[in-house]
Homo-oligomer: A and B are copies of this chain.
Amino acid sequence: MGTFITVDIGGTQIRAAAYPENERQALAIRKTSTRAGSEATFDRMVGLIRSVYPADRSVLSITVAAPGPVDPYSGVIAAAPNIPGWMNFPLRDRLEDEFHVPAHLGNDANLAALGEWRFGAGQGHAHLLYLTVSTGIGGGVITDNQLLLGARGLAAELGHVTVLPDGPQCGCGQRGHLEAVAAGPAIAGYVRDQMAQGANSILQGVSDLSARAVSQAARQGDDLAIKALARAGEFIGMALADFLVVFNPSIVIFGGGVSTSGELLFAPLRESLRMHVMEPAYVHDLVITTAALGDDAGLLGALALAHTMQQRVSV
């Protein structure tokens, strides 16, 4: 019986897990901080992997979920937010050189989609759209039971479609992208701007205002916070109307912290989708739900990729 090692590189933590070949319950999970002291991140990752490595060394592959632009074909990380020095970093080759087993690399949102399809809320859906809404907005798409990657592995960057031409600037430099108007920082920024213009809110005076604080205030009935979440939901619904005519999925799965806001986000989202969708056939029988894998989305998404790659090797 072989073992799959998977690694999830997050903004604050790197986690590694070991899974028996036919199970989704990890034998062991260990974590380290993404930025910690002076030791190089790669060396700490190697140490972390060794800490979950099975004694019998029966490892089939090491599969890594990484944020930001990665090339799944070459295994190179173009740039990793929060990891200085990882520019065009050949992570796959470095891991294969170190451990002498096959290594694979995928974008974390893509792999979360694959994980939900294989193990989570999307099981049985051949056409699936996954959106994670947190500090950014990422996407992953399954079409006909295949992960959509594109020519250079850069497909499904669904936070970077334009929903408000000439709107606020996005982290990527362009204007009016979905991420720039509906991700966590945009939700908090909207509340800040409205308060600066005199709007009332229990959030007045809160320093370092976060989308989480806005979500809590909304649950307590704060009108401005409710409006901020509704506004994000409306923009997401508009973008979703486009994604439906583009992909025609049978399920849309929402992950990320902002998605835990419940109906305060999803009621306006569904209403906006209903208003903007081209025709009812696209929403007939469409499932809209939240992710099932929670914090383990990265590890289990990487495990799903490991399974897929293993099948290709076996065939």
Contacts and interface: CB of A to CB of B under 8 A. Distances in A.
Given A149-B144, A160-B245, A282 B154 contact: yes
A122 to B, nearest CB: 12
A151 B249 CA distance: 5
A163 B241 CA distance: 12
Interface residues of A, number: 43
Given A150-B247, A247-B150, A276-B174, A241 B155 contact: no
Contacts of A163: 162, 165
10 contacts: A143-B149, A143-B150, A144-B146, A144-B148, A157-B245, A158-B246, A162-B241, A162-B242, A165-B165, A174-B276
Nearest to A178: B242
Contacts of A165: 163-165, 238
A156 interface: yes
Interface in A165-214: 165, 172, 174, 177
Interface in A251-293: 276, 278-279, 281-282
Contacts of A248: 149-155
A157 B127 contact: no
A160 B249 CA distance: 16
Contacts of A160: 245, 278
A132 interface: no
Contacts of A87: none
A153 B127 CA distance: 11
A143 B142 CA distance: 11
A300 to B, nearest CB: 23
Which residue among A156, A157, A163, A249 has the maximum number of chain B CB atoms within 10 Å of its CB? A157
Interface in A88-112: none
Interface in A7-33: none
B162 A276 contact: yes
A250 interface: yes
Nearest to A128: B151
A136 interface: no
Given A156-B246, A278-B174, A281-B69, A151 B127 contact: yes
> Which interface residue of A127, A144, A146, A158 has the most chain B CB atoms within 10 A?
A144
A83 interface: no
A265 to B, nearest CB: 20
Given A146-B146, A276-B174, A278-B174, A245 B151 contact: no
A248 B110 CA distance: 14
A126 interface: yes
A278 B247 contact: no
A60 interface: no
Contact of A279 (B172, B246, B282): B172
A161 interface: yes
A161 B242 contact: yes
Contacts of A238: 162, 165
A69 to B, nearest CB: 7
B246 A246 contact: yes
